[in-house]
Amino acid sequence: METNRERLESLPVKVLYLNAYLTQLILFVIAAWLYWIFRDSLRDVFIISQLQIIEALIWGSTATAVILAIEWVIKRIVSENALDDGGINKLLFSQMSSFHMICFCLLVSIVEELLFRAILQSLLGLFGASLLFAIIHVRYVTKPVLFFVVTGVSFILGLLFHYTGNILVPITAHFLINLISGFYIRSTNKKR
């Protein structure tokens, strides 16, 4: 009997990319729809100044370093199986060109942070948005350690947005976390 991992590995990588991009399109449509409905209460979230771009780079980079350091410690403490996402990230990132990876990570970070931080966190609060963010990463729900990590990362991204009021801060952190993780996955996969 074929396992989920074997079925996944037998899929052409273009099918995985298509699913990843379609997921982001769906999330973007949801974000646009919610923004349209609640635009009057969300208007200030999207006002960005040049100073906020510098703030985003500083806070986003610092948060990325802290989050990746925590993830590195967790990786040393728990079993490899506890952190296994079923191989999806490995399959997605291992064959991406650097340019593709940068574009993909940028798209994901912008779409997800606009939806979960700028819109849902503004409407549902930090805890609600963080929990929803973790739940949409459905492959982690049955893995308690992964679910805890993604919920924690989401909560940190939410705190960054809450305290800075700058949507570019969690976008920057999310982008750097995904990009560094993607390059790490690709480089370790090529070694094997």
What is the pLDDT averaged over residues 75-85? Answer: 88
Specify the range with the lowest mean pLDDT, choosing from 46-50, 66-70, 89-93, 154-158. 46-50
| 38, pLDDT greater than 80 | yes
CA dihedral 63, 66, 68, 74 (to 10 degrees): -140
pLDDT band at 186 (very low <50, low <70, confident <90, very high): very high
Answer whether 113's CB lies under 8 Å from 183's CB.
Answer: no
SS3 57: helix
**CA nearest neighbour of 136 among 164, 108, 162:** 108
Q: How big is the chain, counted in residues?
A: 192
What would the pLDDT profile of 106-158 be if each residue is shown by its tens digit?
A: 999 999 999 999 999 999 999 999 999 999 987 778 888 989 999 999 999 99
pTM reported for the whole predicted model: 0.90
Query: Which residue type occupies 44?
Result: D
Distance of CA 123 to the CA centre of its chain: 20
